[in-house]
Amino acid sequence: QSALTQPAWVSGSPGQSITISCTGSSSDVGVYDRVSWYQHHPGKAPKLMIYDVSRRPSGVSHRFAGSKSGNTASLTISGLQAEDEADYYCNSYTNIYTYVFGTGTKVTV
Amino acid sequence: QVQLVQSGAEVKKPGASVKVSCKASGYTFTDYHMHWVRQAPGQGLEWMGLIFSSGGRTIYAPKFQGRVTMTSDPFTSTVYMEVSGLTPADMAVYYCTREGVESYRFDSWGQGTLVTVSS
C-alpha cells in the first residue's frame, strides 16, 4: 500500500492559480472516484476540501476545484490567498475499506 | 456541533503500549465509522485503519496489523486506539476522524494526540 505521489512543494503569487497533482495506480485513484483532498495547517486538524474527486463540502470556497484523469487526481486553487498557505494531502479509497494518503504538498503563497 | 475530543499527550518508553481515546458528540455515533490517522514529525498523513459504526468490525492497514487495536464504546460515544510494542518510529500525532457510512470522506477530525516514545 504505497502512498500516492504528490509534488513536495508548489508555490504561487497572490491571485494566481496553482495545481497539485496526486498520482496513484489502477488499484486506487484510477479505479475509484473516491478521491478527497485535505488542507492541513501545522498544529491544527486537517480539513476536508474536496471529496468524490470534485465535490466541495458546504463552506469550502469555490476557489478550490478537483479533477481526475486516469491514475492522477488534481487539486486546483484559483485566486490564491495568503490563507491558502498550508500542506495539502490527497486521499483515495483503495479496496475492501482501505485508504491511502498522498505524500503531501506544501503550498506557499 | 460535531466534536471529536481526544485524550491528552502521552510519553511512553520503547516497548510499552499507548491507548488514545476519541469522544464524539453532536451527531449520532452509530451513523459514522471512525478512522485513525497519524503524522510523524516531518512526515505526511498515514492512514492506520478504521472501526465500523457497528463497533465490532475493524480493518487495519497492513503495516499496523497485529500491533494496533481499535475498539468502540457506543454507550459513551468513545473510540479507542491502542498501539503496542512502541518504537521511536511510532512517535507521532494521532488523529481520529469520522466517515459517514459509505461516504468515503473524512469530514470531521479530532484535535490530535501527541505520542512521544523515548527512553
CB distance B14 to B86 below 8 Å: yes
Inspect the interface and report whether the beta carbons of B104 and A104 lie closer than 8 Å: no
| Helix intervals (H) in B1-119 | none
- Using CA coordinates, name the residue in chain A closest to B101: A97
Radius of gyration of chain B (CA): 14
Q: What is the pLDDT of residues A38-52, one digit of tens each?
A: 999 988 999 999 999
Cell 510499552 belongs to which residue? B16
Query: How high is the mean pLDDT of chain B?
Result: 95
Q: What is the pLDDT of residues B18-33, one digit of tens each?
A: 999 999 999 999 999 9
The residue of B1, B4, B43, B104 whose CB has the most chain A CBs within 10 angstroms, and thus the best one to mutate to test that interface, is B104
- Which pLDDT value is given to residue A1? 73
- What is d(CA A21, CA A30) in angstroms, rounded to the nearest whole number? 13
Q: How far is A17 from chain B (nearest CA, A)?
A: 24
A45 → closest Cβ in B47, B105, B112: B112
B47 → closest Cβ in A32, A99, A104: A99
pLDDT higher than threshold 80 for residue A69:
yes
- Which pLDDT value is given to residue B56? 80
